[in-house]
Amino acid sequence: MNAPISPRPFPIPLVAAGPGSHEDDGLDYLEMPQGMATYQAPRLPEPEQLGGHDAAVAVLRQALAAVQACTRGETPAPVSLAGLSPDDLALVHQVLGEGEVSAQVLGDDGRPQVQVQESVFAGVWRVVELLADGQVADTIECGPVPAVLLRAAQEDGHSPAAEAMAPPPGVMNAPAILTELAEQRHQWRAGQPAHVVNLTLLPLSPEDIGFMDHQIGTGRVVVLSRGYGNCRITDTRVPNTWRVVYYNSQDKVILNSVEVCAIPEVVCAAPEDLADSAERLDEVLQWVAQG
């Protein structure tokens, strides 16, 4: 059994972002993120040190073929890492590195059933899934987003609806927002742009936030993107609806929104990212081939 990956931790707590009400004693601007994650080539061993790692090289070549297939609009099958020796598995992990997006699908006990780590090659993902029989499926998946995240979010979206309840005292604007989201969910179709409700700009009380959270629920998919500052994305218990919260470098909320879409764009690798990854991974394998 392959050991599961250990992606960087999720340092940002999942909390309802603060209300949009303003109590101004003066202008108090939040600091914006201070840095932006950029591509850094993996640290590779010398070619002569790669002798005897044919299995690892074969897996990496399959990953290259898969990402190249993505650039042609195809949906390639995942590349299995089953059977690799610990040394070969370590080499694959070294070449892929860790990119800016991590994700988890939580089980009923709150523990991760699926761990996802994007590699330094955007759109090339390491996916480790704990199967029902206790086995671990360790794969490389290439594409805009791993299928398991979409599948889990779709399942969560068909959860039993929250019990209808009258808004408690202190709730002001949440019912109107929930009505808007329900209308957008009814109208939204695959391929359409996301409908975004920016909660940061709205006068919302803590009771509004709590009531909204109760009505749309919290799903099992948790994604953390570190591309520019930090962004935490969680699915909900209603179809095609996501909470998206951006933080600055001090972990203060700078944007809190709800998006109606299949999955927020910030999670996905764009077509140009996949094309770039195919080129860079090909360059890496040319280096490896010298061994």
- pLDDT tens for 159-212 read 887 777 888 899 999 999 999 999 999 999 999 999 999 999 999 999 999 999
For residues 207 and 5, which has the higher predicted lDDT (pLDDT)? Answer: 207
* Average pLDDT of the residues in 235-247: 96
* pLDDT at residue 266 greater than cutoff 70: yes
pLDDT of residue 41: 64
Q: What is the DSSP letter of 262?
A: S
Rounded CA separation 165/18 (Å): 23
Type of residue found at 217: G
Cβ-Cβ contacts under 8 Å for 198 (sequence gap 6 or more): 255, 256, 257
pLDDT digits (tens, 9 = 90+) for 108-148: 888 899 999 999 999 999 999 998 888 899 999 999 999 99
Backbone angles phi, psi at 64, to 5 degrees: -60, -45
pLDDT digits (tens, 9 = 90+) for 10-47: 443 333 344 444 344 443 444 544 455 555 666 766 66
In the numeric block, the tokens 């805009």 are attached to 144
> Residue 70: which of 12, 132, 145 has the closest Cα?
145
Rounded CA separation 145/233 (Å): 13
Return mean pLDDT, the chain.
85
Q: Residue 6: helix, strand or coil by DSSP?
A: coil
pLDDT of residue 12: 36
The CATH fold assigned to 145-268 is Ribosomal Protein S8; Chain: A, domain 1 (3.30.1370)
Query: What percentage of the chain exceeds 70 in pLDDT?
Result: 81
Type of residue found at 40: Q
pLDDT of residue 1: 47
Band of residue 62 on the pLDDT scale cut at 50, 70, 90: very high
Q: Are the beta carbons of 285 and 41 closer than 8 angstroms?
A: no
| Sequence ranges of the domains in the chain | 145-268
pTM: 0.83
pLDDT of residue 10: 43
pLDDT of residue 5: 55
Rounded CA separation 171/207 (Å): 5
* pLDDT at residue 97 greater than cutoff 70: yes
> Residue 233: which of 68, 96, 53, 103 has the closest Cα?
103
For residues 29 and 156, which has the higher predicted lDDT (pLDDT)? Answer: 156
Rounded CA separation 83/279 (Å): 28
Cβ-Cβ contacts under 8 Å for 272 (sequence gap 6 or more): none
In the numeric block, the tokens 């910030």 are attached to 266
Rounded CA separation 238/214 (Å): 11
pLDDT of residue 27: 36
Rounded CA separation 19/170 (Å): 12
Instruction: Please report which helix (H) or strand (E) contains residue 180, including its range.
Output: helix 174-187
Q: Are the beta carbons of 281 and 64 closer than 8 angstroms?
A: yes
